[in-house]
Amino acid sequence: MSMTQLLDATIRQIAVPGKGILAADESGQTIAKRFATIQVESTENNRRIYREMLFTAPQLSDYVNGVILYEETLGQKASNGSTLANVLEKQGIIPGIKVDKGLVDLVGTDREKVTQGLDGLSDRLVTYKEMGARFAKWRAVFDITDVKPSCLAMETNAHNLARYAAICQAHGIVPIVEPEVLMDGDHTIERCAEVTEKVLHTVFRHLYLNKVSLEHIILKPSMVISGSTCKQQASSEQVARETVRVLLRTVPAAVPTINFLSGGQSAEFATENLHWMNKLHPNLPWLLSFSYGRALQAPSLDAWHGKDSQLVQGQEALLKRARLNAAACVGEYNSTME
């Protein structure tokens, strides 16, 4: 099978109406913080138990067709001896892998961030592919103030995203392109729209220059929302209208699917926003779906609470959120379903 055929096969399985992606690629530091909220120690075994609970939830594949894994998780084994990647594959869910190496300060800016990890990426992808990964993820972040993001931050991060995407496709691995405009701050939804449009224009210009096949990427953007400390918070209908307006101005129709990140939104708000996008705009050139981490996992983590006796409750909480987001993907969510 050629690399193009591999990419085609993966995209066909992921770009399915009514299904999305579970982001379970938290770094060791991030998952330790989340475990601390329920007084659970972040040991390798506890992380394995938690993720096995998520991945073996009955009928998860009815709503989720891909899971992004952290490097540790890709190599971990379930209690039955199978790798967690194989556990997913047996359910018809595609394993993916986070490949960036985190954020560092970008020299020449006012503490803006750039994502590292291009060095050695090609060799790592060979290993990840052998372990079962068929798609990958790289996250870039952009601050919002009156003067941020700077041109340097946008250009550098967009270039790195494009290089990563091109390298992935050369290995037959579908890249998730994730430009996250952070919700931290007191900016209005109008300022968020302005910045998001600039960021996406820059990203797609670099994807074009690096000859990335747009038909074989997954775009994982942030929604256009009010800053977390903005006094006037936009409604879900406003978020939907502004987000789609920006996407129509920036994202080529060749892109098959847009799977939003939740970016710190509550589980309910992330679902409602996605619903209104699909409800108000049913005939868009791309699918609008989800690639949520905390917005899918938080209720499950709280229900599980680190107790073997509550594994089923943890799975039920995950399945509920996955089912509601699947409904939002086709504009059929209602808050009474909560």
Query: Per residue of the chain (338 residues), what is the pLDDT tens digit?
Result: 799 999 999 999 999 999 999 999 999 999 999 999 999 999 999 999 999 999 999 999 999 999 999 999 998 999 999 999 999 999 999 999 999 999 999 999 999 999 999 999 999 999 999 999 999 999 999 999 999 999 999 999 999 999 999 999 999 999 999 999 999 999 999 999 999 999 999 999 999 999 999 999 999 999 999 999 999 999 999 999 999 999 999 999 999 999 999 999 999 999 999 999 999 999 999 999 999 999 999 999 999 999 999 999 999 999 999 999 999 999 999 999 99
Rg (CA), the chain: 19
320 is catalytic: no
26, 112, 178, 272: which is the annotated catalytic residue? 178
180, 220, 242, 320: which is the annotated catalytic residue? 220
Would you state the CATH architecture of domain 3-15+23-330?
Alpha-Beta Barrel (3.20)
Tokens of 89: 């594959």
How far is 197 from 200, CA to CA, in rounded Å? 5
- DSSP secondary structure string, 5-23? HHHHHHHHHH--TT-EEEE
Report H helices in the chain: 3-14, 28-36, 44-55, 71-75, 84-90, 121-130, 151-170, 189-209, 236-250, 267-280, 294-304, 311-329
Domain residue ranges in the chain: 3-15+23-330
Q: Which residues pair with 67 in a beta bridge?
A: 22, 95
pTM recorded for the entire structure: 0.97
**How far is residue 73 CA from its own chain's centroid?**
17
272 is catalytic: no
Place of tokens 């998520």: 54
